[in-house]
Amino acid sequence: MAALPVCLVLALVVFSHGLGVSSLFVDEAASWHAAVGSLGQVFTRVRADEVAPSTYYVLLHEWIYRFHDDSEAWMRLPSMVAGVALVGAVAWLAYLVSGRLAASLAALLAALDPAILNYAQEVRAYVFAMLGVTVAVAAVLAAEGSVSRRRIRWFALALVAAVAAYSFHYTAGLVLLPLTAYVLRSRALSRRLRLVWTAVLSLTALAWLPLLHAQLGAGHNAWLGTTERHWAADLGQTFGAALSGRAPETPTRLLIGAAIIGAGIGISLLRSPGTRVKLVAAYAVAPPLALLVVTLCGQPALLGRYAAVGVPFMTVALAVAAVSGALPRFVAAALVVAWLGLEALGLHASYETIGHYADMRAVVGEVRSRIRPGDVFAGVGDDAILFSMDYYATRLLAPGTPVILASDPREQEALRARRTIWTVTPPLSSRQLHAALAAERYVAVATWTFPAMQTLELVEARPLAGGTSDAQSGG
């Protein structure tokens, strides 16, 4: 596969560009919050604030403290490396399914994929789960095609990758469950190996079950049930997960991508009905279909990041369909060109909005340039926004500066003490904020807007001194 090194270099360039430019978005800030502090606090915070195993957060904890660096780019670096490795794993899987040409095309598609770019630049565990399930499937296929000791080695690699994938994120189970069914039916693997696989993965799932039960019981995903359903967008980002990048997406582009993926999988199954092709097709469609079923059963779950573990298999299925010879060459070429065009649009949008996450870094930088001793920095929202505030306040504000939520009792103490309060808030809640301040005999004397996909406003509020004052706007 002479093209593979070129694709890996391309992936390195694509995934490393702008790695530390964007502020941490709230989920990344939650990862940071879970990873800092003592090792014991990592387990406590993951149990309280996340819906994922502890593995990633323990490793992030060590990454931060061993190298004494928690900058955005440094915390995202492991994900970027995993993203490049994922391109290699996709090529390996495609090679095992359909040969060198499919491997080269799959590697190219993966290197330019806006969804993989997104997860390769996040301080989250998704890209590691994607890498784990891809290696697990490829190693199982390699084990089937090998003999004696080499078979054992490939099988051991598959088992380690599968355990690691689930230990990084529960969504890996959306691929590992059908993979286990395949292993159990494999005639190339001995009965002992099949039993070992089933036992080890079952024990892995059971080991994480108490934590999963506690996290779900805490209602961390309850917000999914409170948001309005937009079926076109939800289906697009789930079934078109391979194009679901970090930029604001239109359902049309994602649904077109889902249609291309569906056509590729359908063509692969109809014209190349081999077992391995069916296997890849099953892993491509299993995650979004499972999420759709869960949603129809009353628990909203149609999120692109939950379907991310199927993205590598969508890419392989498309590459196999294009090179299988089942289609006229011009049709296969049109399919690939259409997909590359959609990827290019996604990459362009992602790079144009490389700082599209709520720009808490700029907000706190503005506060730093104006805050005075005794002032309070408050946020409107939940713990997620507080994590982001804490991260940048720790880096940019003077030690001891109070950083709280507007709902915190300490804000009432600050109001009674007539302190100046700097409040970061989504624009939709500014009016309510101003009304609340008036009730406390405060007035907003200045407002700064920080536009992004998730726009923030910073409001400086001071106690009234015998009159009212018009708010000023800053940029």
| Per-residue pLDDT tens digits for 40-91 | 999 999 998 999 999 999 999 999 999 999 999 999 999 999 999 999 999 9
Entry pTM: 0.91
- Which one-letter amino acid corresponds to residue 435? A
How far lies 47's CA from each of 40, 42, 225, in Å?
Answer: 11, 9, 21
| Per-residue pLDDT tens digits for 219-230 | 666 555 545 557
Angle value at C-alpha 231, between 168 and 169, nearest 5 degrees: 5
Using CA atoms of 128, 131, 136, 142 in order, give the dihedral in degrees to the nearest 10: -150
pLDDT score, position 407: 79
376 φ, ψ (degrees, to nearest 5): -125, 140
Angle value at C-alpha 20, between 16 and 26, nearest 5 degrees: 120
pLDDT score, position 304: 84
Q: Residue 216: exposed, middle, or buried by beta-carbon count in 10 A (0-12, 13-18, 19+)?
A: middle
CB atoms within 10 A of CB 19: 18
Angle value at C-alpha 82, between 80 and 84, nearest 5 degrees: 75
Strand partners, 322: none
User: Among positive and negative, which fits the CA dihedral 171, 177, 180, 186?
Assistant: negative
206, 167 contact by CB (below 8 A): no
Q: How far apart are CA 201 and CA 183, in angstroms?
A: 12
Mean pLDDT for each 10-residue chunk of the chain (475 residues)? 91 95 90 94 93 97 96 97 98 95 96 95 97 98 88 96 98 96 93 96 97 85 57 78 71 77 73 78 91 87 89 92 80 88 86 74 94 91 82 92 86 88 79 77 89 85 68 47
Secondary structure in 3-state letters for the chain: CCHHHHHHHHHHHHHHCCCCCCCCCHHHHHHHHHHCCCHHHHHHHHHHHCCCCCHHHHHHHHHHHHHCCCCHHHHHHHHHHHHHHHHHHHHHHHHHHHCHHHHHHHHHHHHCCHHHHHHHCCCCCHHHHHHHHHHHHHHHHHHHCCCHHHHHHHHHHHHHHHHHHHHHCHHHHHHHHHHHHHHHHCCCCCHHHHHHHHHHHHHHHHHHHHHHHHHHHCCCCHHHHCCCCCHHHHHHHHHCHHHCCCCCCCHHHHHHHHHHHHHHHHHHHHHCCCHHHHHHHHHHHHHHHHHHHHHHCCCCCCCCCCCHHHHHHHHHHHHHHHHCCCCCHHHHHHHHHHHHHHHHHHHHHHHHCCCCCCCHHHHHHHHHHHCCCCCEEEECCCHHHHHHHHHHHHHHCCCCCCEEECCCHHHHHHHHCCCCEEEEECHHHHHHHHHHHHHCCEEEEEEEEECCCCCEEEEEEEECCCCCCCCEEEC
pLDDT score, position 353: 63
